[in-house]
């Protein structure tokens, strides 16, 4: 694990054996020293950098208010980037609008308000594809392969679903667009421990299907356990990065960000 500041984090540490990164090193998403914010004169992200190589599952953890959601929104064109740049497959996508990013293969699942409650599950899934009706069946088959429990409930109103079910619909909705890159904001938030495990398994499955995935999580331990690499965001910048395993084993990261994981010390 390395403290990536003050240098820019365009380099990654060696890929773990067996990680998808070991074979392919195509840079998919690159955020370079991104500065961004909502209100004039107030920067939430400060020279924040991140990379995601093809096929990687990247975990982003850090305290509340660190800017994790803001980073995903900056990548997806929902927050004004004021400095630095964001590249997708080497092309500058800084401040492109969300619909442009969707057409370039980027999907985003916000933490909340990520389904249309008055529409059925099927309508939620099909709505982004109304201009491409021929693609619906193939995409639906892929999505229902990952979330088979949705199949029997396609007519059900999304607003009547539990939190975990809504999360599945939200992820499915993003997958219907056939993204190469998926940005997930706290897929386990608000779920019971069992449902959280399930959500992480689905994320892993989506990633294994070849979708480069960048996931923000408050469940730092579980996130780093399944991530190829992770970033610890603190005060709007990438404070630490490393493989999931490196971050989980780093005493500084444990004491500052993983809290109770360090409680195994005898006294």
Ligand X SMILES: Nc1ncnc2c1ncn2[C@@H]1O[C@H](COP(=O)(O)OP(=O)(O)O)[C@@H](O)[C@H]1O
Q: Contact positions toward ligand X, by CB under 6 A?
A: 38-39, 44, 62, 64-70
Minimum CB–partner distance for residue 37 and ligand X (Å): 7
Closest residue to Mg ion in the complex (CB): 69
Q: Rounded distance, CA 237 to CA 41, Å?
A: 17
As separate numbers, helices (DSSP H) first and strands (DSSP E) second, the chain gives: 9, 10
Binds Mg ion by CB under 5 A, chosen from 35, 51, 69, 219: 69
| Residue 65, binding choice from ligand X, Mg ion, none, Cβ under 5 to 8 Å by partner class | ligand X
Q: Which does 67 bind (CB under 5 to 8 A by kind): Mg ion, ligand X, none?
A: ligand X
* Residue 219 binding Mg ion, by CB under 5 A: no
All residues at 6 or more sequence positions from 12 whose CB lies less than 8 Å from its CB, including other chains:
21, 51, 53, 229, 241
Pick from Mg ion, ligand X, none: which does 39 bind, CB < 5 to 8 A by kind?
ligand X
Give CA angle at 28 (244, 209), nearest 5°. 70
- Report the candidate in 50, 56, 26, 57 with the shortest Cα–Cα distance to residue 36: 50
> Which of ligand X, Mg ion, none interacts with 194 (beta carbon under 5 to 8 A by kind)?
none
User: Whose Cβ is closer to ligand X: residue 65's or residue 117's?
Assistant: 65
- Which CB sits closer to Mg ion, 69 or 94? 69
The candidate with the shortest Cα–Cα distance to 75, out of 213, 187, 178, is 213
Per CB under 5 A, which of residues 24..43 are in contact with Mg ion? none
Instruction: Could you list the beta-strand ranges (E) of the chain.
Output: 27-36, 45-53, 57-61, 81-88, 91-92, 106-109, 181-185, 212-216, 229-234, 237-243
**Min dist. Cβ of residue 34 to ligand X (A):** 12
d(CA 182, CA 105): 9
Closest approach, Cβ 112 to Mg ion, in A, equals 10
The one of Mg ion, ligand X, none whose footprint includes residue 38, by CB under 5 to 8 A per kind, is ligand X
- Of residues 42 and 194, the one with the C-beta less far from ligand X: 42
Using the CB atoms, write b or e for 173-183: b if 16+ within 10 Å: bbbbbbbbbbb
Residue 213 engages Mg ion in binding (rule: CB under 5 A) = no
User: Interface with Mg ion by CB under 5 A: which range of 24-32, 66-74, 158-166, 231-239?
Assistant: 66-74
Contact segment (CB under 5 A) with Mg ion among 35-43, 68-76, 136-144, 196-204 equals 68-76
Closest CA relative to residue 77, chosen from 85, 190, 265: 85
Order of all β-strands in the sheet with 237-243: 106-109, 181-185, 212-216, 57-61, 229-234, 237-243
Shortest Cβ distance from residue 69 to Mg ion (Å)?
3
To the nearest whole angstrom, how small is the minimum distance from the Cβ of residue 166 to Mg ion?
17
112 or 255: CB nearest Mg ion: 112
| Using rule CB under 5 A, residue 188 touches Mg ion | no
DSSP class of residue 150 equals G
Binding site residues, Mg ion, CB under 5 A? 68-69
């Amino acid at each position: 694990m390395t403290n990536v500041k003050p240098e820019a984090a365009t380099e990654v540490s060696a890929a773990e054996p067996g990680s998808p990164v070991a074979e392919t090193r195509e840079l998919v998403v690159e955020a370079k020293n991104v500065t961004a914010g909502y209100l004039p004169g107030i920067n939430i992200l400060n020279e924040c950098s991140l990379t995601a190589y093809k096929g990687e599952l990247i975990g982003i953890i850090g305290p509340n208010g660190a800017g994790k959601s803001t980073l995903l929104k900056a990548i997806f064109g929902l927050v004004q980037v004021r400095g630095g740049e964001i590249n997708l497959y080497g092309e500058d996508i800084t401040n492109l609008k969300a619909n442009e990013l969707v057409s370039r293969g980027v999907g985003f699942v916000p933490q909340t308000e990520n389904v249309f409650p008055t529409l059925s599950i099927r309508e939620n899934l099909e709505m982004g594809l109304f201009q491409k009706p021929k693609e619906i069946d193939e995409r639906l088959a892929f999505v229902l392969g990952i979330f088979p429990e949705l199949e029997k409930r396609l007519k059900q109103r999304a607003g009547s679903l539990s939190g975990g079910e809504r999360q599945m619909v939200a992820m499915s909705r993003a997958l219907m667009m056939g993204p190469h890159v998926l940005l997930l904001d706290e897929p386990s938030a608000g779920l019971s421990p069992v449902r959280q495990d399930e959500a992480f398994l689905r994320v892993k499955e989506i990633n294994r299907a070849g979708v480069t995935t960048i996931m923000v999580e408050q469940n730092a331990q579980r996130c780093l356990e399944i991530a190829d690499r992770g970033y610890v965001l603190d005060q709007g910048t990438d404070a630490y990065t490393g493989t999931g395993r490196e971050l989980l084993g780093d005493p500084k990261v444990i004491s500052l960000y993983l809290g109770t994981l360090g409680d195994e010390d005898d006294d």
